[in-house]
Amino acid sequence: MDMSEITDTLGTFKPELIPKETGGNLDDYEDALHVLMKFMGSMSSALEQVSGRGANAIVYQAGKRMGHESAKMMDKTEDLEKALYELSEVLGEEFYFIKWKPDAQDSYVLQKDNEVTVKLLFMDCVVRQTLRRTGLPQKGPLCYLLYGYMVGAVEEVMDLKAKVDIDHVGPNACLKTLTIKWSAK
């Protein structure tokens, strides 16, 4: 078959060859991102339709596994500040967050019994963007992917049990509370 009749981009491949070029330009990346966003959105709503609230648990487990996997190479620490730094490295720019507290509260970190909590404000989030791309509400199953991801990563780095609760969602930022239980491993 003469490929030059079909495409201008011709190349030579050997089985072991890692291509030097990814192929495509920024527009292709954008198109791919939007297709994936639509797929993810559609999968999430179908999952919810079939399994109801069980969808949250499934997506949470998937996220948690990802979190554990991604944080495996990170330094282990019991220091919350360091763990948050590691978490930001795992989550990257696409899930950019900062610590947040009301102005009247002295410290970002609150200690109660054997639990410590810190509020995290997520300014950027790919999940939020995916939901907006597909017209789905926030706090649905897809949000559980990020909860699971965070919990998995924190548990991996700190070797302690963690929990994430959603406080509030908006189109420009979401507030979450991360709880670490010191006694539970």
Partner 1 sequence: MVEIIIDEDACVGCASCVEDCPNDVYEMDEANNKTKVVNEVDCMACLSCHEICPAQAMEHRDIHVAKRLYIDRKVNYALKRII
Positions in the binding site for partner 1 (CB under 8 A):
27, 30, 33-34, 37, 94, 100, 102-103, 121, 123-126, 128-130, 132-133, 167-175
Nearest-approach distance from CB 145 to partner 1, in angstroms: 16
Nearest-approach distance from CB 135 to partner 1, in angstroms: 10
Nearest-approach distance from CB 177 to partner 1, in angstroms: 12
CA distance 40 to 10: 32
For 139, the token pair is 């706090």
Nearest-approach distance from CB 132 to partner 1, in angstroms: 5
For 114, the token pair is 């054997």
CA distance 67 to 74: 11
CA distance 71 to 113: 27
Please identify, using beta-carbon distances, which residue of 15 and 170 lies nearer to partner 1.
Answer: 170
Please identify, using beta-carbon distances, which residue of 91 and 157 lies nearer to partner 1.
Answer: 91
Please identify, using beta-carbon distances, which residue of 27 and 113 lies nearer to partner 1.
Answer: 27
Which has the closest alpha carbon to 63: 85, 91, 35? 91
What is the helix (H) or strand (E) element at residue 176, kind and residue range? strand 174-181
Please identify, using beta-carbon distances, which residue of 42 and 114 lies nearer to partner 1.
Answer: 42
Please identify, using beta-carbon distances, which residue of 21 and 103 lies nearer to partner 1.
Answer: 103
Contacts of 106 (CB under 8 A, 6+ apart): none
Secondary structure letter of residue 24 according to DSSP: S
Nearest-approach distance from CB 3 to partner 1, in angstroms: 29
Asked whether 163 and 155 are in contact (CB, 8 A), the reply is no
What is the helix (H) or strand (E) element at residue 45, kind and residue range? helix 26-51
Nearest-approach distance from CB 118 to partner 1, in angstroms: 14
Please identify, using beta-carbon distances, which residue of 77 and 129 lies nearer to partner 1.
Answer: 129
